[in-house]
């Protein structure tokens, strides 16, 4: 039988290698032309790899987690073609066999669209277009379902894609496939750090290695701010509800006018600090694939309602993999928020080359001595981490005090 080597194609400019994050076939499987055989992740995107030939898989080029150079053999196929028609087999196939996950078939994209598509694929992961009979789920969800013994095809997916929450709902519905889970499932286990988690791990290690962080935490009375938020949210039921986060972005933008060093990048290779006039706020967002930081550009020009809408847009887009390239890069300062899970204090890691990051913590009602008696007040801690190479402790402390003043006297936010 003719033998065809499907090689890892050129995925994009400057990409020299890719990590195999999922195999969709195994040795012995029959594949048809354009069938998905593997998903691979680079430092820029995750792409689906589709075979240009039909036949039987006789070899695969590695295991999940392996990093393969561009041009290395991905799979070997015994094709159905006769010798005459298979002339040239083993030659490198065109790069169209690889495409970013989540991207549809032709027409070809222009350069701008292609750039956008690449970025979208960073968040989409391996959730490509749903084909007939195909279940859409990230590698992490697939792995967890496999460990739980759940058939993904049996799990309802309201938006067409299965998430961890869908697995949880399926389990709570009393239809867990393995009610007699054996004891060894609770035993120690090892697993490789792969895909997006590997990228996050490398990035976090780089940030901590380069930046001498220091963190400052202040307690803020947000009773009046919460009262204002309640009034605004009660004015029009059809309007989106304001959370605390847009108020924090608004206060941050106002305070940065007096502390431009906090809204800056530090290029430690050249020794240059760039202070920015515009505020492009990074909003750390938890997704099924891990932590992402979508960006609200020109946040300083937005009012509270525009900020609320922009935060909802980028957070939903990050989770669904629908953001453009400019919505995933270019932040000048970031906020890391866990909402109601915010704890009592944080030590957020700076998003290099930025030099500062804020983290609001959970609001709690506590008795506070006011004048001559205790009063129930809503109290929140606000944490900030800074790059101690170029920022001394005085600036972030003064910056947080400015935010505190606006939060405790909310009229100042709009003065």
Q: Please list the active-site residues.
A: 388, 392
| Cross-strand partners of 55 | 31, 79
Structure tokens at 227: 């009262």
| Neighbouring C-beta atoms of residue 43, cutoff 10 Å | 15
Phi-psi bin for 256: left (phi > 0), alpha (psi -120 to 50), beta? alpha
* Cα-trace Rg, the chain: 25
Q: What is the DSSP letter of 390?
A: T
CB-side exposure of 376: number of CA atoms within 13 Å? 4
Whether the CB-CB separation of 220 and 379 falls below 8 Å is answered with yes
User: What backbone torsions phi and psi does residue 117 show, to the nearest 5 degrees?
Assistant: -60, -35
- State the CB neighbour count (10 A cutoff) for residue 59: 13
3-state secondary structure of 410: helix
> Residue 265 burial (CB < 10 Å; 0-12/13-18/19+)?
middle
Q: Are strands 36-41 and 55-60 parallel, antiparallel or unpaired?
A: unpaired
What gap in Å lies between CA 381 and CA 401, rounded to an integer?
12
Q: N- to C-terminal Cα distance for the chain?
A: 79
CA distance linking residue 97 with residue 326, whole number of Å: 27
- Cα angle 356, 362, 368 (rounded to 5 degrees) comes to 110
């Amino acid at each position: 039988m003719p033998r065809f080597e499907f090689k890892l194609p050129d995925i994009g400019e400057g990409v020299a290698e890719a990590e195999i994050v999922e195999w969709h076939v195994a040795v012995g499987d029959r594949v048809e032309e354009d069938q998905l055989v593997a998903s691979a992740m680079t430092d820029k995107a995750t792409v689906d790899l589709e075979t240009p030939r039909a036949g039987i898989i006789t070899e695969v080029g590695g295991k999940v987690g392996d990093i393969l150079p561009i041009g290395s053999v991905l799979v070997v196929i015994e094709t159905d073609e006769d010798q005459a028609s298979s002339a040239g087999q083993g030659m490198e196939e065109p790069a169209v066999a690889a495409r970013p996950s989540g991207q549809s078939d032709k027409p070809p994209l222009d350069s701008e669209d292609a750039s956008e598509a690449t970025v979208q694929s960073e968040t989409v992961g391996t959730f490509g277009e749903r084909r007939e009979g195909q279940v859409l789920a990230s590698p992490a969800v697939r792995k967890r379902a496999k460990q739980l013994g759940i058939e993904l095809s049996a799990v309802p997916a309201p938006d067409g894609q299965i998430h961890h929450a869908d697995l949880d709902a399926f389990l709570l519905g009393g239809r867990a496939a393995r009610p007699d889970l054996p004891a060894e499932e609770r035993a120690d286990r090892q697993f490789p750090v792969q895909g997006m988690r590997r990228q996050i791990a490398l990035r976090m290690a780089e940030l901590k290695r380069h930046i001498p962080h220091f963190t400052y935490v202040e307690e803020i009375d947000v009773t009046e701010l919460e009262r204002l938020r309640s009034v605004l949210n009660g004015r029009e039921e059809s309007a989106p509800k304001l959370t605390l986060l847009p108020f924090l972005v608004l206060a941050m933008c106002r305070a940065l006018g007096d502390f431009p060093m906090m809204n800056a990048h530090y290029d430690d290779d050249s020794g240059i600090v760039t202070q920015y006039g515009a505020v492009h706020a990074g909003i750390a967002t938890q997704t099924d694939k891990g932590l992402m930081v979508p960006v609200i550009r020109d946040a300083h020009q937005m009012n509270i309602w525009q900020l609320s809408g922009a935060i909802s847009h980028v957070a939903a887009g990050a989770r669904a993999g629908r953001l453009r390239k400019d919505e995933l890069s270019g932040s000048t300062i970031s906020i890391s928020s866990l909402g109601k899970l915010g704890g009592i204090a944080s030590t957020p890691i700076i998003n290099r080359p930025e030099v500062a990051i804020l983290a609001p913590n959970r609001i709690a009602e506590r008795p506070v001595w006011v004048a001559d008696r205790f009063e129930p007040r809503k109290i929140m801690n606000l944490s900030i981490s800074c790059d101690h190479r170029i920022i001394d402790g005085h600036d972030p402390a003064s910056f947080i005090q400015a935010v505190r003043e606006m939060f405790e006297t909310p009229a100042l936010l709009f003065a």
